[in-house]
């Protein structure tokens, strides 16, 4: 891994105007990156420029603005493919976010793949977006949802996973990095063991795509999903990548304009991929903003950025652990920059409120991972999550605010 000292985070911070702001009279310490990333000025300007000077619908117009918008939209498809190591731009489906991407696949499997008695495997650490769609799919088809256990340190129980795989398993859908714990799952090993039985694998990359280079070809997965707002782009835009052979097997998720070849009252024929999955006017500005976000990320030394995030995680973990009565939930050996913690006799919501008074933004709650927190016997945690634009002063402010809170409540 690169030396974190080589990453110029001071210069990077200047690209994010919001980081220079104040909250309640204190410098903003933004540590809620697992919920959404802040936007560099390049993304803000790209979206503003589109709406101010280039606004038009795509695919259907022959005038200049429509052709310009269409070109920008479709160029982003190729750019996104390269960003995640895919070779075929047509395998990139633009959706509203990770949630819609998973729902699209779940809908397709419900209608074209799953039958009564089939099994779907997910893990105990999944976000609700990778639980509920599969519950609905199971209810619709008579399939059975199976859950891979999580060990006490917050890592995946790989022995149990192997035991759960069977001839009835039709899909494994698993998170790459836990949003609640920061645990990094060994997705390559998960995929290898599933593929040995001919089982496809969906990887939820909502948390991994902002923090590490992604190469779906090397990873070997069959589907990969992520959200634009997590990679410092706009909200309301996301990506589903799938292998062509799988996408062609799945039926359309929604229907309407732009996903058809021909419509008459006797029947309709659909476009091939990616068109058949993109009904109606898409979030064009979101795609253009995503393009700018990818350009921005690709302009960074991502290996050095990852090393910098790792140094922040280590510093925060060590300093928070030294506070009496503070307990960290999720201590897997391989973690991304997330620290979930509890303080004796202080509700996580009170932690979040107290820290906010000092300008420190953390998340408090169940993080859309209620079964996982139930597994650890807690209803909620406070969660600090770092990005490459955070610095060691942010860690110091977090630790100082938590220490002040501990003194206040004891």
In contact, 303 and 5? CB cutoff 8 Å: no
Average pLDDT over residues 85-114: 98
Which residue in 156, 211, 132 sits closest to 369, CA to CA?
Answer: 132
Q: At what angle do helices 392-409 and 302-321 cross, to 10 degrees?
A: 20
The pLDDT value recorded for residue 26 is 94
pLDDT in tens, 52-85: 999 999 997 889 999 999 999 999 999 999 999 9
**221 tagged catalytic:** no
Catalytic residue of the set 368, 375, 378, 404 = 368
Q: How confident is the model at residue 403 (pLDDT cuts 50, 70, 90)?
A: very high
Given its phi and psi angles, is residue 163 left (phi above 0), alpha (psi -120 to 50 degrees) or beta?
alpha
pTM, two decimals, is 0.96
Q: Are strands 260-264 and 238-242 parallel, antiparallel or unpaired?
A: unpaired
Q: Is the pLDDT of residue 1 over 60?
A: no
The pLDDT value recorded for residue 52 is 97
The full DSSP string for 340-373 is EEEETTB-HHHHHHHHHHTTEE-EEE-TT-HHHH
Cα separation of 322 and 222, whole Å?
43
Tokens 């709650």 sit at which residue?
Answer: 365
Q: How confident is the model at residue 260 (pLDDT cuts 50, 70, 90)?
A: confident
Q: How confident is the model at residue 2 (pLDDT cuts 50, 70, 90)?
A: low
Alpha carbons within 13 angstroms on the beta-carbon side of residue 176 total 25
Which residue in 108, 148, 115 sits closest to 131, CA to CA?
Answer: 148
Q: What domains does the chain contain, in order, with CATH numbers? A: 4-30+301-409 (3.90.1150.10), 44-298 (3.40.640.10)
First to last CA, the chain: 41
In contact, 351 and 202? CB cutoff 8 Å: no
Average pLDDT over residues 140-166: 98
Mean pLDDT score across all residues of the chain: 96
CA distance to 191, 198, 213, 313, per residue, from 216 (Å): 11, 17, 10, 26
Q: Is the pLDDT of residue 366 over 60?
A: yes
Average pLDDT over residues 349-373: 97
Q: How confident is the model at residue 364 (pLDDT cuts 50, 70, 90)?
A: very high
């Amino acid at each position: 891994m690169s030396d974190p000292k080589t990453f110029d985070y001071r210069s990077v911070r200047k690209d994010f105007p919001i980081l220079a702001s104040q909250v309640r009279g204190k410098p903003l310490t933004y540590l809620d990156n697992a919920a959404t990333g802040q936007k560099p000025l390049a993304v803000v300007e790209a979206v503003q420029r589109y709406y101010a000077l280039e606004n038009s619908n795509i695919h259907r117009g022959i005038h200049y603005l429509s052709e310009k918008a269409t070109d920008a939209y479709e160029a982003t498809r190729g750019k996104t493919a390269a960003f995640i190591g895919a070779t075929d731009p047509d395998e990139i489906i633009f959706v509203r976010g990770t949630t819609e991407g998973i729902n699209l696949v779940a809908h397709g499997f419900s209608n074209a793949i799953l039958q009564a008695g089939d099994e779907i495997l997910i893990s105990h650490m999944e976000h609700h977006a990778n639980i509920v769609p599969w519950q609905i799919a199971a209810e619709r088809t008579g399939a059975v949802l199976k859950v891979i256990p999580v060990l006490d340190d917050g890592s995946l129980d790989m022995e149990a996973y192997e035991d759960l795989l069977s001839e009835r398993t039709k899909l494994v859908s698993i998170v790459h990095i836990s949003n609640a714990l920061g645990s990094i799952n060994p997705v390559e090993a998960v995929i290898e063991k599933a593929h040995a039985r001919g089982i496809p694998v969906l990887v939820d990359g909502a948390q991994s795509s902002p923090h590490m280079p992604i190469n779906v070809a090397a990873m070997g997965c069959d589907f990969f999903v992520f959200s634009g707002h997590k990679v410092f782009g706009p909200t309301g835009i996301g990506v589903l990548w799938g292998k062509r052979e799988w996408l062609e097997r799945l039926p359309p998720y929604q229907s309407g304009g732009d996903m058809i070849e021909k419509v008459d009252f006797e029947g309709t024929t659909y476009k091939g991929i990616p068109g058949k999955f993109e009904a109606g006017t898409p979030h064009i500005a979101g795609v253009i903003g995503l393009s700018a976000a990818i350009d921005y990320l690709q302009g960074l030394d991502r290996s050095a950025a990852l090393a910098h995030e790792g140094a922040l995680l280590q510093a925060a973990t060590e300093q928070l652990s030294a506070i009496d009565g503070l307990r960290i939930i999720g201590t897997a050996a391989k973690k991304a920059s997330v620290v979930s913690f509890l303080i004796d006799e202080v509700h996580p919501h009170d932690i979040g409120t107290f820290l906010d008074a000092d300008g420190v933004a953390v998340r408090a709650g169940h993080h859309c991972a209620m079964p996982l927190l139930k597994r650890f016997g807690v209803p909620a945690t406070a969660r600090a999550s770092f990005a490459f634009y955070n610095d060691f002063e942010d860690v110091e402010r977090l630790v100082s605010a938590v220490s002040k809170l501990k003194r206040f409540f004891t």
